Structure 1
Amino acid sequence: MSSLLCALAVFAAAMFTAVSGKQVVTGMYGDTITVPCNNGNNKPSDLIFTKWKYLNEDNTSGDLLVKQAQKEEAKIIATNGYKDRISITPNSSLLIRDAALLDEKIFICIVVSLVNLNEYPVEVAVYKRPSAPEIKNKASQLENGKLTLLGECVSADANPPSEIVWLKNNKPLLTDNRTIIINSSIKKDPSTSLSTSISRLQYMAGKEDTTSKFTCVARHVTGPDQHTAPENFSIHYPTEKMSLQFLSLVPIKEGDNVTLRCQADGNPPPTRFNFDLKGEKHTESGRDMMLAAVNRNHSGEYKCSLASNDKMVATATLNVTYLDLSLSPTGDVNKNVGESLEVKMKKSSSSEPTVSWTKDNEKLDKLPDFSTLTYSHAGFYVCQVSVLGIKRSASFRLVVQGSPVIKSLKKHRSANGKNKVLVCEAEGSPEPDVHWSVNGTHDEKTYKDGKAIYKLTVVPSMNLTVTCQVSNTLGYDSRVINVSSLIDEEQKAKPDKSEDSDDKAKVIVAVVVGLLVVAALVGIIYWLYMRRRQGSWKTGEKEAGTSEESKKLEENNHRT
């Protein structure tokens, strides 16, 4: 009993001891707060009891509970709102359920033992995360160059109060007291003591803010920032620039539908426009006006203006592409070989066109000279003229006519040498028909540009006279050729023995005649020699010779 009295005396003295060295504990609004007693190290061996109490800001206090060391249950002695919200843990920590802002105070844990009394003060802070921020009282539109209230950002029911930041295109806006003015305030709920932060943004918008995104951000100690959805505001400003466009595929061709669009940069955009169509004026309730099936006469300058302000004018020039083509002659043209043909091509276009000619689908560098027509001039001619986006074409088919004329009639042996091939070449149009006076084993023909080649393969068993006759609706022509028998040609090709013997006799006769000629020449030479000697005797030289010399001369003559 004496020990208990001693402890109570010590406790009474402690009531006047100043509280120092506080620990701070943070709890979330509505949750259970755990307030530790000396961080759980509060059970001395001679512990008598543990007591919790609180101290208000005005230094008033109140008891909460007492826990005897020898008892398991604590005694709740609080009589106010804490009565049903507090309890104690085995390590003497105080539990406060349904935390509210009224719990932001100092709680004191008193540990009483036989020889000592200790107090452990703990300051409790209650945090409340604000609700998602909202932008209220938003402006329906902003005035260009005019300071306008954009809106109020509200971040409600927080503790401590949240901080509000305005962003434009994700960059913070700072007050400059000229184009940006931000006023912030805080309201506290009298029943919950929770704070609501309000920030009012006044902003001077420009036309460039048409695409700007404004965001309000609530920042709080409880963790990540909360953003409102980006807001886009219509910027009101009068029309300063206008433009006129032609909505159509380029180039604009005759027959196209063309829409004229008048555009103005004002906001809200104008809804009525005046259109000046080359002196003809129309008023439209929209920005578009259509010209149906334009032609070359629609080319020229067009204007549009605001119905409310005819001094705001835009102009544009319409260029309609066109192309005309005429060709003479056209269709089928029949001419006789040797005649002339005059071709006339006329064109009219919005710009210099490209001209090309083809004959039978093959490109020509230029149109042929038709002053003297030949069969090669015949064909299908197409003239094509084009400018941007437009093509025109015209054509004629030239037929060159003439009665057939055979140019040559030839013969030759076939490659195997067993046949004769007759070749008859002719010119004429329409294509001539051919008629041979004999039948052949193979008949073929080709015809191009008025030239025909007819071939007939025959096996003549006797000498023949063959006629090639060609004809068309304008006339005919024919030519003959002699064709010898293949048998006769083969016999003539064999060598003749009698002819060989005759040739040998002729050679012998030639040799004999040659020898006689040589002998005659020697006799003449000898006669001349003798005459020369006789002449020398007459000049007084010794003429008489010996008998032996005479004999030698006679022998020499005889030998000769």
Structure 2
Amino acid sequence: MDARVAASLIAGLVVLLHGLTAWALVEVNMEDRVEVFRGDTAQITCMFSSDDGIGGVTIQWFYVLRTGEKQKIYYEDATMKVVDRGTPFTDRITVNVTAATGEVVLTITDVQVTDQLEFICLIKSLTDGVGEGRTKLLVFEKPDSPTIEGFQTGISVYEDVSKIGTCEVKNGFPKPNVTWYRNNAPLRGADDVMKVVPSITIESSGLFSVRSELSMKVTKEDKDALFYCEVTYLVPGGTRMIETNTINITVYYPSTAVHMWVESPKGKIKEGDSIEFHCQGDGNMPSSIFTIKHSGEEYTMESNMYVLANVTRLNSGDYECVSLDTDTYEELSGTTTIFVDYLDPAVVAPAGPVEVDQGEELTATCNALSSLQMHTAWFKDGQAVSVGHTLMLKNATFDTAGTYQCVVTVLEVDGMETMATFGVKVKGPPEIMQSEHTDIEESLDSTVDLTCHVRGYPAPNIIWTTPDGKFLETTSEIETEDGVISTASVEVTSDLTAFCNASNEYGADALAFNIKAIQTETAIPPKRIRKEGSGVIIAVIIICILLLAILGSVLYFLYKKGKICGRSGKQDLTKEKSSKDNIVVEMKSDNTEEAILLGVNGEKQPPSTQ
């Protein structure tokens, strides 16, 4: 054979064999991954092409075990469709084939986290061509809302790394990530200043719970810091983030300065007040002890406060607050100065009571010692009469007499006030205050009270008299600041005049009360009452006479009928028996003969029936 012919035959055979091989190839295309939430339904699509057509291929589905081995779960050819028994997917998968497009869809219902596996679609043609594709099924579960819990007790800046708090997020898949933040900045640092210790728990459902514990060495600046956690987790097609609430921690740090002040009273302090001292350092170490020192005295503060009660001017001066840190024995102090204002009792000169003659002049002064400017005023009977330290009373009269009150006030301090009183007696003859009721009308046999108000000093002597020189009884006598008030009771039996007579060593005065007796009329005159009484008696007598006449007529009628005995003896009276009661008549003779009870049969009744 010619070499060229042989070469041509060989070349043609190669082309023929190559063509046969190309016709037998199966092409399979699948997505790299399919993502789905736990509990949802997943669909894994397998696209293939083959010259044999759908009737000349077999379809098989597998999943890859953790060991790397394949586990068949489905088989299909032109004659049968078989779901493998005894696999985790036996009751949860279906396969749909679309011949026109060469699409095979594996559907898995109620996807669980254990279904996160690699799935294989195997297409085999009748000419022994095989195609294979792989897809990873990724399962996701959104975790519960994260929680954060801070360390409840304070942390000292002297301590090493201390626990700040914990964050926890539960039931996520895949595992959520926890990041700590302080004031919106993520926390990072060396282990000697900060530690974050995570712990992961796999729940029975296969979900992950993550707990993260933050510890760090705190500084004074951390007292105002806000800590929180950021949790990131995967979802189909992306990443999500959720943050916890913020927490702060109590940081104990030493003071660098101490401030002392008076909390109350605000403003000026007066004697008798209670002073409330406060002392505070710019640190907050619980080991700090505060004390107050003043003039050799030392007072222990409670809750950084001390109350000094009922102060006097002797309490004025400087007060020092000392803060002692019992951990380091360092001392810091702060001071404040107070001044206690005072107002001494008022003193009036001359000391009362003061006696002055009518027409004379009297001068009195009122003074008080105070640390502040004072205002002085004089009062009598609640009315202001003068302003200033001096009171001048000119041309004294009985109206001048009485009690005067000196009031000294510090206007700029509320409640700072003192007062003193003194009495004035004006000497002079009695002066009877004219009464508006000296002419009085009263009923006969009544009693009237007469009142006489007499001014004068010394206190006048008062007597009550009548024009004929008789003395009236004084029922009451009250001594006043300017004299005497006397009262007498008079029984009104006729018109009369009563005199109020007042006298002292300087003279006398009198006042007359004229009383007119009034006779009041009664509603029923006495004579008419007697006439009405006689008329009643006469009417009673007439009625009695009429009754006696009627009784006599009845007796006479019975006598005529023979129903009653004569005057000479006793006779039975008979009467037909009544259908009702028996009649019994008791008769006595003019000679007081024995009474006889007669029945209807005329027989004498025994005494027992009477």
Shorter-normalised TM-score: what interval? Answer: 0.5 to 0.7
Answer whether contact 1:64 1:77 (CA < 8 A) is retained: yes
Counterparts of 1:324 and 1:301 in 2: how far apart (Å)? Answer: 23
Which one-letter code corresponds to 1:306 in the other structure?
Answer: S
Does structure 1 retain, via aligned residues, the 8 Å contact 2:290–2:322? Answer: yes
Q: 1:109 to 1:383 in 2, by over 3 A?
A: farther
Q: Is contact 2:35-2:140 (8 Å) kept? A: yes
2:228 corresponding residue in structure 1:
215
Determine the structure 1 residue equivalent to 2:603: none
Match of 2:369, SS state, is strand
Amino acid at match of 2:259: S
Q: 1:272 pairs with 265, 283, 289, which one?
A: 289
Deviation at 1:276, TM superposition (A): 1.4
The aligned residue for residue 377 of structure 2 is: 356
- Find out whether 1:263 has 2:304 as its counterpart: no
CA drift at 1:219: 2.6
- 1:392 aligns with 418
Per-residue Cα deviation, 1:469-525 (whole angstroms, up to 9, x for no partner): 9965452479xxxxxxxxxxxxxxxxxxxxxxxxxxxxxxxxxxxxxxxxxxxxxxx
What is aligned with 1:341? 362
Question: Matches of residues 452-531 of structure 1 in structure 2 within 5 Å?
Answer: 473=504, 475-476=507-508
Asked if 1 retains the 8 angstrom alpha-carbon contact of 2:141 and 2:172, the reply is yes
After superposition, the Cα gap between the structure-2 partners of 1:330 and 1:271, relative to the gap in structure 1 and judged at 3 Å, is: farther
Q: Give 1:297 deviation, angstroms.
A: 0.9
Mapped partners of 2:354, 2:78: distance in 1: 133
Match of 2:516 in 1: none
- C-alpha distance in 1 between matches for 2:247 and 2:384: 66
Q: Pick from 12, 25, 35: which aligns with 1:26?
A: 35
* Corresponding residue SS for 1:343: strand
Residues of 2 paired with 1:195 and 1:318: CA distance?
Answer: 67
> Kindly tell me: are residues 111 and 215 of structure 1, through their superposed partners in 2, closer, same or farther at Cα, counting changes over 3 Å?
farther
Instruction: Please report how far the alpha carbon of residue 331 of structure 1 lies from its aligned counterpart in structure 2 after TM superposition.
Output: 6.3
> Kindly tell me: are residues 292 and 111 of structure 1, through their superposed partners in 2, closer, same or farther at Cα, counting changes over 3 Å?
farther
CA displacement at 1:396 relative to structure 2: 3.1
Q: Tell me the CA shift for residue 160 of structure 1.
A: 3.7
Structure 1 residue 17: deviation in Å?
A: 2.9
What are the residue-to-residue correspondences of 1:112-131 with 2, within 5 Å?
123-130=136-143
CA deviation vs aligned residue, 1:409-428 (integer Å, no higher than 9, x gap): xxxxxxxxxxxxxxxxx997
Q: Find the partner of 1:53 among 53, 59, 62.
A: 62
Q: 1:65 aligns with which of 64, 74, 81?
A: 74
AA matched with 1:77? D
Kept in 2: contact 1:276–1:282 (CA 8 A): yes
Distance 1:301 1:379, change over 3 A: same
Corresponding residue number in structure 2 for 1:233: 249
Greater Cα shift, 194-203 or 340-349: 194-203
Q: Would the alpha carbon gap of residues 323 and 133 (structure 1) be closer, same or farther in structure 2, given more than 3 Å must change?
A: same
Q: Secondary structure at the match of 1:304?
A: strand
Q: Does 1:76 align with 2:76?
A: no
Q: Find the partner of 1:324 among 312, 328, 344.
A: 344
CA shift, 1:394, in A, is 2.2
- 2:490 aligns with none
RMSD: 5.6
| 1:59-458 to 2 correspondences below 5 Å | 61-66=70-75, 75-77=82-84, 81-84=87-90, 86-88=92-94, 93-97=106-110, 99-101=112-114, 103-106=116-119, 108=121, 123-130=136-143, 133=146, 141=155, 143=157, 150=164, 153=167, 155=169, 158-168=172-182, 171-174=183-186, 205-222=218-235, 225-250=241-266, 251-281=268-298, 287-308=304-325, 309=329, 311-328=331-348, 333-366=354-387, 368-370=391-393, 372-387=395-410, 388=413, 389-403=415-429
- Paired with 1:275 and 1:288, the residues of 2 have a C-alpha distance of 10
Q: Could you say which residue in structure 1 is the equivalent of 2:50?
A: none
- In structure 1, the residue corresponding to 2:367 is in which secondary structure? strand
Gap change, CA 1:49 and 1:279, over 3 Å in 2: same
Instruction: Evaluate the alpha carbon distance shift between residue 338 and residue 140 of structure 1 in structure 2; reply closer, same or farther with a 3 A threshold.
Output: closer
Give the secondary-structure state (helix, strand or coil) at the position aligned to 1:297.
Answer: helix
Q: Given that residues 107 and 124 in structure 1 are in contact (C-alpha distance below 8 angstroms), is that contact kept between their aligned partners in structure 2?
A: no
How far apart, in 1, do the equivalents of 2:149 and 2:40 lie?
34
1:277 and 1:232 map into 2 onto residues whose CA distance is 39
- Equivalences, count: 413
Closer/same/farther in 2, CA of residues 341 and 140 from structure 1, 3 Å limit: closer
Deviations 1:352-375 (A, max 9, x none): 233333332223452642254244
- TM-aligned CA deviation for residue 60 of structure 1: 6.4
Q: Which amino acid aligns with 1:162?
A: P
- Report the Cα distance in structure 2 between the residues aligned to 1:432 and 1:68, rounded to whole angstroms: 149
What SS is found at the alignment partner of 1:239? coil
CA contact (8 A) 1:379 1:397 kept: yes
Deviation at 1:302, TM superposition (A): 1.2
* C-alpha distance after superposition, 1:211-230 (max 9, x if no partner): 43311121324487544453
Gapped regions of structure 1 (runs ≥ 5): 1-8, 407-425, 439-448, 451-468, 479-560
- The 1-side partners of 2:196 and 2:455 are apart by 109
Query: Structure 1 residues 355, 214: closer, same or farther in 2, change over 3 A?
Result: farther
TM-score when scaled to structure 2? Answer: 0.52
Task: Classify 1:247/1:336 alpha carbon distance in 2 versus 1 (closer, same or farther; 3 Å).
Answer: same
* Corresponding position of 2:43: 35
Deviation at 1:240, TM superposition (A): 0.8
Residue type at the aligned position of 2:178: I
SS at match of 2:283: coil
